[in-house]
């Protein structure tokens, strides 16, 4: 279990539902480790500023996370978390490993402009 204040996704079907019901979705797929925890914190901090984005997490070791682990966009990624940005149901950006708040904001501002 991930101990964050983000919306938890527990199944492939749950991910599909969230992506289909929200125009802009950021999913952090990781563990409670030193490279992942800061990214969860950044997402939690940005939720109020980016009301038009649905921020979620998914446990990397959950068998249902195969839907993220098998994306072509993450092929070759060496570190977690995998952070996936969906717009209108499609992956528009994917990053791996730790990110700074400014890096995340730059992606949100580029990919999810209203």
**Above pLDDT 70, what percent of the chain?**
99
Mean pLDDT of the chain: 97
Pick among 3.40.640.10, 3.30.420.40, 3.30.70.20, 3.40.30.10: CATH of 7-105: 3.40.30.10
pLDDT at 100 over 90: yes
For the chain, the structural domain boundaries read 7-105
Q: Residue 31 has what pLDDT?
A: 97
pLDDT at 114 over 80: no
Strands (E), 10-109: 24-30, 54-59, 82-87, 90-96
pLDDT (tens digit per residue) in 54-73? 999 999 999 999 999 999 99
CA dihedral 2, 28, 77, 36 (to 10 degrees): -50
Mean pLDDT within 15-40? 98
Q: How far is residue 82's CA from residue 106's CA, in Å, rounded to a whole number?
A: 17
């Amino acid at each position: 279990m991930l101990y964050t204040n983000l919306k938890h996704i527990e199944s492939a079907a749950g991910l599909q539902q969230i992506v289909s019901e929200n125009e802009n979705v950021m999913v952090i797929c990781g563990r409670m480790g030193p490279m992942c925890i800061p990214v969860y914190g950044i997402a939690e901090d940005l939720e109020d500023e980016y009301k038009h984005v649905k921020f979620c997490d998914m446990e990397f070791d959950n068998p249902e996370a195969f839907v993220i682990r098998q994306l072509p966009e993450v092929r070759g990624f060496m570190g977690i978390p995998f952070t996936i940005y969906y717009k209108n149901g499609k992956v528009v950006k994917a990053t791996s490993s730790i990110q700074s708040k400014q890096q995340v904001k730059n992606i949100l501002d580029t990919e999810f402009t209203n």
